[in-house]
Amino acid sequence: MKLAFIGSGNMGLPMARNLLRAGHQVTVYNRTRKHAEPLVQDGASLVDSAADAVCDAAAVITMLADDAAVEEAAQSFQPPLARGAIHVSMSTISVACAKRLAGQHAGRGQFYVAAPVFGRPVAAAAAQLWIVAAGPAEQIEKCRPVFDVLGRGLSVVGPDPWLANVIKLSGNFLIAAALESLGEAFALVRKSGGDAGQFLEIVNHALFNSKLYANYGGAVAQSHFEPAGFKLHLGFKDLRLAQEAAETAAVPMPLGGVLRDRFLAALARGEGDLDWSALARIASLHAGL
């Protein structure tokens, strides 16, 4: 499958590499060309604009930082992109943005598939992402070989692309909620004379039995927030997008409000570049620890 790949950052680079190694023909564009250069040895063609990348591509994959970056890229490649070609939008973007993009592509006889992923750069490199895809069923099927190369699992959630974004954002909301709950429980245990690490071990053995709790909880128990696997300011961005989606759907989410304040308290402390699990430390700080 002839592919264009826009965005070779922390996530995009290993994803593009996996596609190349699996034998796909991939033309890559990244705003900072240097970051894409390591892909040349895997067979990538580098180009100097998003428009150049999509010429004669059956699908263009975007893996960029935020709404603005994806919309800017789409603006520049929508005309050259062929009728019938697919924009596979894998970034974590807003529901509103996904709706706009889907509409624009439809207007040009192109397809739009939303396919955000769960997983950090390490998982991207190991082809262990979990992909949540939504859009026209036939187009998703066409992309399946791509998804198979990139991840360990694929969930197809329906024909409305933006639903995939709702699910990605809601998943991140669940992680943030788990982080905050651990943060509050740790504060209580510690101020009561206990050890957060031992408490974590107990509840994970007795209750959750989840690597996610073990890994994130361990980081919080040890205040180990650097290097960041996922930066706190990006986590805040995702929370805001979840809140925007909740606003559109008129869904009160009180935990969302609590999380928002934790993020803001962390940002007020200048901690935006720490791992987002640092939001769980705020509970201890506010308890005077």
* Phi, psi at 63, each rounded to 5°: -140, 85
Question: Binding marks (x or -) toward a second copy, 75..94, rule CB under 8 A?
Answer: --------------------
Residue number, 146 or 242, with CB nearest to a second copy: 242
Establish how many alpha carbons lie within 13 A of residue 256's alpha carbon, considering only the half-sphere containing its beta carbon.
19
Question: Binding marks (x or -) toward a second copy, 186..215, rule CB under 8 A?
Answer: -xxx-xxxxx--xx-xxx-xxxxxxxxx--
Residue number, 54 or 163, with CB nearest to a second copy: 163
Asked if 1 interacts with a second copy (CB under 8 A), we say no
- Residue 34 bears catalytic tag: no
Window of 12-20, 47-55, 140-148, 252-260 that interacts with a second copy by CB under 8 A? 252-260
Listed in sequence order, the residues at least 6 apart from 82 whose beta carbon sits closer than 8 Å to its beta carbon are 54, 56, 57, 110
CA distance linking residue 31 with residue 39, whole number of Å? 14
Among 43, 158, 197, 229, binds a second copy (CB under 8 A): 158
Window of 20-28, 96-104, 139-147, 151-159 that interacts with a second copy by CB under 8 A? 151-159
The helix/strand/coil state of 142 is helix
Residue number, 77 or 213, with CB nearest to a second copy: 213
Residue number, 58 or 175, with CB nearest to a second copy: 175
Listed in sequence order, the residues at least 6 apart from 204 whose beta carbon sits closer than 8 Å to its beta carbon are 210, 213, 214, 217
**Footprint (CB under 8 A) of a second copy, residues 171-190:** 171, 173-175, 177-178, 180-182, 184-185, 187-189
Asked if 254 interacts with a second copy (CB under 8 A), we say yes
Asked if 276 interacts with a second copy (CB under 8 A), we say no
Closest distance to a second copy from the beta carbon of 257 (Å): 3
Listed in sequence order, the residues at least 6 apart from 124 whose beta carbon sits closer than 8 Å to its beta carbon are 10, 11, 14, 15, 18, 117, 150
CA distance linking residue 95 with residue 114, whole number of Å? 10
The interaxial angle of helices 161-191 and 95-107, nearest 10 deg, is 170
Asked if 42 interacts with a second copy (CB under 8 A), we say no
The kind and range of the H/E element at 88 are strand 86-89
